[in-house]
Structure 1
Amino acid sequence: MPVAPPVAVRDRAVACTPNLPLKSLLSMSISRPFLWPAVAVFAGFSLLGGCGPQETGSVKPPGILITAEPVMSAPVETVEASVGQVESLVEPVVAAEVAGRVLTVEVEVGDTVRKGQPLVVLDSEDYRLRRGAARAEIGRLEALIGQQERLVARYETLAKSDFFAKNALDDAQAQLKALRSQLAAARTQLSEAERNLARGRVLAPVDAGVAARMVNEGDYVGVGTPLLRLSTDQLLRVTLPYPEALADVLRSGLPVRLRSPAVPDTVVEGTVTEIRPTVGMANRALLVLVDLPNPGGWKPGASVDGEVILDRRDQALLVPETAVVMRPAGPTVYLVEDDRARAVVVQTGVYQDGQVEILAGLEAGALVAVDGAGFLSDGAAVRVLDGGA
């Protein structure tokens, strides 16, 4: 009986190996001719399933998917931030200028007062009596002076004759001079009594708010006793504490940016007015003072965020923070060149709004890997995401 021809696959190089079940089926077909059709079909499927094309070349591995951005040039500031407090630059303590008992307190804490408004009224009856006595003394002396002036005039007429002693005229003139001096002293006492009488009504020295009250009605106060403490928000002082380690870089005249939680959208610019020469014993802090007019809405005692600008560079090189990765050699940035990553060790500066200043190692305009930079190595194949460059 003839043997079935082998199956051939056109236009394909195949590497076929003998199939053990097929051999068994062929040996069985020798004695059973009716199995030849099944043998042919089985052989065809075996060749198609067991034989395949041989690979003649290797597939190029895909690059690491990244985003990339150019190195930017922009202004950079070196700043030191702090949280300070707003104080009133004008905060007078109103004290008693004369002694006396407190009759009334015209204001309460929190009240707003105008300049010249009465604050406290003291008992001034003693000064009223002294004013009356001074006025009476002035009247008496003026009468005596008038009489003495007439006497001196008569003596001067008599002195022209030889029958009048000249020393009597000299005595009368001396007494007139003394009375005039006494009159001047009496008038001074009257002015003092009137001034003290006016001081019995304590008036506000400036437009301000009442911050504290130290006396009550009925209290007896002496000269210099504090009565009230006023606070004005027209002129303010911002106090910013800084570590003593910054003493060498902080100085008067440096620009400052201030923000108040009361008006968060408003940035107020000023300059350092003064730096306290001593370090605080409690917090070991150096106090930076900034004096400025109230920009509106700021209150004494409130907190404030401050930034002292120590330095400014107008043409600094910046890359996103995610572009800088740490490697054993140091901070590293990967340049993207011809679909390859090239590692460059850089020197970093300040961090500002998600950007890092590059002090050395890069040039403006160079393309650097951003997202995915942490998975790169020097020479790695990369694929830049569309829109990432």
Structure 2
Amino acid sequence: MRSATLALPALALALALAGCGGNAEGERKAMPPQTVSVARVEMREMAGSLRASGRLLAREEAAVALDVGGFRVRSVLVEEGAQVSAGQILAELDPSLLLPQIAQLRATLAQQSVAAEQARDQAARVAGLENEGVLSGEAIANRRFSARSTQAALAATRAQLQEAETRLARLKVRATVGGLVLERSVRPGDTPSPGTNLFRIARDGSIELYAELPEAAAAGMSIGDPADVRLPSGKVVTGNVRLIGARVDGQSGLVSVRIALPRDRELRQGGFAEARFTRAASVLAVPEAAVQYDADGASVRVIDKDRRIKRVTVRTGQHANGYVELREGPPAGAQVAVKGGAFTLEGDVVAIEGGKAR
């Protein structure tokens, strides 16, 4: 009897607890679905955000070398950074050793000219006298030989004088091309040897950015594509892709790309710069807010025809204007949750804000 009395309160407590659990389950089932805004995966024009760095180098570099040796540099007329024109005098060598030689050759040439003229006249006087008995055949032959000999000596001296005058002209070191002087490696008083490079000039002052890109990125480029180049000063200049390398480096796997830049005083040979390629491309994209990031990586919440949530892993690309490129993920046309998607779980039924995707 006592045990039956104790069992009644326990039974009542169990029934009460069961009733409470049923109410909680009912309340959970009665909760409305999460409301989310949606967007479709679709093709969009997005400006590329590929970046590459490199060195600023002359598009075409010309060396100015010395043709003659043994002469001291008398003066240097330009400095690094100067703009020069083709044929402009850059430096002068001391001609004091060469001028006396030229004067002596000119005097010798004058003497030989007189001698050659006299020999020519004497040879002309005996023309047709071979069988007249006036002069022996030997005398006539000597006069003709003397005329030819003096003419030969005259020609040799004239050639020596021409060579000396050419050397004199080359004592004025001239720019081989017009452009920007990149380097001056000569000083007054130096005695450089033949073949020594005295100056380096960037033809037309053209400086380019030599950048290197992965092979896959270079494959998507075309000649003329725009690029914004940031200089060390922070200044940004706009250039265009002029040349894409024909080979891939065997060690780095990179392709060289040359970006033509407008003339600017801040472009310095050997300087460092960074390029951002801004060519627009059509890519699959979704709003940035649609992409969720967690320990498993990036994903989106795809909404199926029954309005159920399915988590799909994605691989993202470039970002622009509030959108992100999907390089891997759901196909074009798929609906993804944007606002409110973070509060949903796999398999949840959701309510779509506005009733349809944007």
Please name the residue that 2:151 is paired with.
180
Please name the residue that 2:350 is paired with.
382
User: CA offsets per residue over residues 61-106 of structure 1, 9 Å max, x none?
Assistant: 1222433222221356888531112111233343332231122222
User: How do residues 119-198 of structure 1 correspond to structure 2 at under 5 angstroms?
Assistant: 119-198=90-169
Counterpart Cα distance in 2 of 1:334 and 1:278: 41
Stretch deviating more after TM superposition (195-204 or 161-170): 161-170
> How many residue pairs are counted as aligned between the two chains?
325
Pick from 162, 175, 183: which aligns with 1:212? 183
User: CA offsets per residue over residues 251-273 of structure 1, 9 Å max, x none?
Assistant: 79844543222585653222434
Q: Once superposed, what is the RMSD of the aligned Cα atoms?
A: 4.0
Letter in 2 for 1:290: R
- Ranges in structure 1 where 5+ consecutive residues have no aligned partner: 1-53
Counterpart Cα distance in 1 of 2:288 and 2:46: 15
The offset of 1:153, in angstroms, is 1.1
Please name the residue that 2:285 is paired with.
318
Please name the residue that 1:292 is paired with.
260
Q: Normalising to structure 1: TM-score of the pair?
A: 0.68
Counterpart Cα distance in 2 of 1:276 and 1:135: 59
User: CA offsets per residue over residues 105-161 of structure 1, 9 Å max, x none?
Assistant: 223334433333332221112221222122222212211211111111122132252
Note closer, same or farther for the CA distance 1:249–1:175 as it changes in structure 2 (3 Å cut).
farther
SS at the partner of 1:357? strand
Counterpart Cα distance in 2 of 1:346 and 1:308: 28
Please name the residue that 2:172 is paired with.
201
Please name the residue that 1:101 is paired with.
72
CA contact (8 A) 1:236 1:291 kept: no
Pick from 42, 45, 61: which aligns with 1:72? 42
User: How do residues 320-339 of structure 1 correspond to structure 2 at under 5 angstroms?
Assistant: 320-325=287-292, 332-336=299-303
CA contact (8 A) 2:123 2:144 kept: yes
SS at the partner of 1:270? strand
The offset of 1:361, in angstroms, is 3.5
CA contact (8 A) 1:207 1:232 kept: yes
Pick from 190, 193, 197: which aligns with 1:226? 197
- Ranges in structure 2 where 5+ consecutive residues have no aligned partner: 1-22
Please name the residue that 1:81 is paired with.
51
Counterpart Cα distance in 2 of 1:338 and 1:114: 73
Q: Normalising to structure 2: TM-score of the pair?
A: 0.73
The alignment-based identity, stated in percent, is 22
Counterpart Cα distance in 2 of 1:141 and 1:330: 96
SS at the partner of 1:185? helix
User: CA offsets per residue over residues 231-265 of structure 1, 9 Å max, x none?
Assistant: 456323321134xxx45875798445432225856
